[in-house]
Chains A and B, each alone.
Chain A
């Protein structure tokens, strides 16, 4: 066991391979991703009980640290923490662009002084949760709730849970991700997860202006024409058009985008008849997706929301568990020394 604590892949794992932070899907193998999905399955059952609460994180404090606002992600993290019996503090911090680095460190010091056990971090800058995980007091778990264009690992994992629920397994699946891949941290995490879990093909469908350079190197094929790209799909994941991020002339118009890359019933009919339709939300009806499809029988968009709570419960309890068992291990080593 010679894992280096400061290397990025090992930052989020304990020496014996347990999760202790959840920052990115990079470096997490199929076995661990499957553990997360299996644990989430057990939490889904908890969500169906009269009392939707288990005592795992009783007495622990979870801080939702949102430097970028997000109603859905924050509320599902909040509900997940509460269902684990944790105390939850929600901080929506809008940062001034100039003093981000400095204010981040100061904010953290203050929050650590309140004896927090876990930070759930959403930040517009890629790498912010990593930075926090590197500098935080040992024993405190960091969960990435979306950073810049880099990663949104809990969203990707809730999507994987939704796919597994409907398709049973990943082997042999053809999955397409459609729309604004360029600005999407979700897409990167999804491509990574689908490849690791063994999907047959991951396809991105988008105009060239909304694709990152060397997108194939992420592990996907590229299709510019949606009509061709829909063929034989088992899963189609629509991305939200990041209107607020759209700078410069990447798109002629929303209407043009919808005509070419919006999902309507005609295009969906080109996919496998049992193809499921997913969207991370919030959906722009008539921009990426037609209402008849979003509300139709093949849509699993609301399942994704329910699964989001279970996945977040799984990741939070596993990371906290990794932290406590690591601390215990260190104590016992010190006792023996």
Chain B
């Protein structure tokens, strides 16, 4: 069984949240970095919505995951690509779903290996709670909680849609 959430509504929410966050911080020329795969699709959409012409970055955090000692290397790792110098930049970091916070920790570790950014704003499409680390998004399209048998997944890139999967059915 699959229920759909309205992606446009969530994107509207992200866009207005980001505009507000940028204004509050007085950030004038941010750069976007999307975490593969869903975050990259969102970075593409949001860079157009926010009118950011500078190409966005794509981050593959496989080399920075904290579960290498348990599951080994992700066999489908792709190169990260940051087509700008992160040093001193204001970054908007984008992922599709935040839960434990471990992906974001890995992503921030990776970003700092490219240089020292001036600031990072974290934006996610869906915040599922269930945090294991003290990391919170500045902007979320929607905050919700899942039952233990439910999974949520962003499909894309064209069209983007959100799938809510009921496991075991």
**Measured CA separation A35–B73 after assembly (Å):** 11
How many residues of A are in contact with the other chain, CB < 8 A? Answer: 25
Out of A42, A55, A317, name the residue touching B60 (CB < 8 Å).
A42
CA gap between A223 and B75 in the complex, in Å: 39
Q: Is the interface of B mostly helix, strand, loop or mixed?
A: loop
Do A54 and B114 have beta carbons less than 8 Å apart? no
Q: In residues 85-129 of chain B, which contact A (Cβ within 8 Å)?
A: 109-110, 113-115
Question: Are B73 and A39 in touch, CB under 8 angstroms?
Answer: yes
Report how many residues on chain B are interfacial, defined by Cβ distance under 8 Å.
22
Binds A, one of B18-26, B45-53, B76-84, B130-138: B76-84
8 Å CB contact of A41 from B72, B73, B75, B79: B79
Q: Is the CB of B114 within 8 A of A42?
A: no
Task: List, in ascending order, chain B residues with CB within 8 A of A320's CB.
Answer: 72-73
Q: Which residues of B contact A55 (CB under 8 A)?
A: 63-64, 109
Tell me the minimal C-beta distance from A275 to chain B in angstroms. 27
Residue B144 is within 8 A (CB to CB) of chain A in the complex: no
- Tell me the minimal C-beta distance from B43 to chain A in angstroms: 18
Q: Closest residue of chain B to A85, judged by CB?
A: B63
- Cβ B63 vs Cβ A54 within 8 A: yes
For residue B149, CB closer than 8 A to chain A, the reply is no
Interface centre among B77, B78, B80, B109 (most CB of A within 10 A): B77
B115 contacts which chain A residues (CB < 8 A)? 50
Q: Does A38 contact B (CB under 8 A)?
A: yes
CB of A211, distance to nearest CB on chain B (Å): 37
Which A residues are in CB contact (< 8 Å) with B4?
A: none
CA distance A201 to B34 in the complex (A): 42
List the B side residues contacting A321 at CB < 8 Å.
Answer: 68, 71-73
What A residues does B76 contact at CB under 8 A? Answer: 38
A45 and B36 CA atoms in complex are apart in Å by 16
Cβ–Cβ contact B73 & A318, under 8 A: yes
* Chain B CB within 8 A of A53 CB: yes
Interface centre among A39, A49, A328 (most CB of B within 10 A): A39
A192 and B57 alpha carbons, distance in the complex (Å): 38
Q: Which residues of B contact A44 (CB under 8 A)?
A: 79
Docked pose: A317 CA to B75 CA in angstroms: 10
Closest B residue to A54 by beta carbon equals B63
Residues of chain A from 28 to 78 with CB closer than 8 A to chain B in the complex: 35, 38-39, 41-42, 44-46, 49-51, 53-56
Listed by A's residue number, 20 A-B pairs whose Cβ atoms lie within 8 Å are A18-B72, A35-B75, A38-B76, A38-B78, A39-B75, A42-B77, A42-B79, A42-B80, A44-B79, A49-B114, A50-B114, A50-B115, A54-B64, A55-B63, A55-B64, A56-B63, A321-B71, A321-B73, A324-B70, A328-B71
Q: Which 4 pairs, one residue from A and one from B, show the smallest C-beta to C-beta distance? A: A321-B72, A321-B73, A45-B79, A54-B63
Q: A54-B64, A321-B68, A325-B71 are in contact. List 8 more A-B contacts (CB 8 A).
A: A39-B73, A41-B79, A51-B114, A54-B63, A55-B63, A56-B68, A321-B71, A325-B72
**Which residue numbers of B lie inside 8 Å of A, CB to CB?**
60, 62-64, 68-73, 75-81, 109-110, 113-115
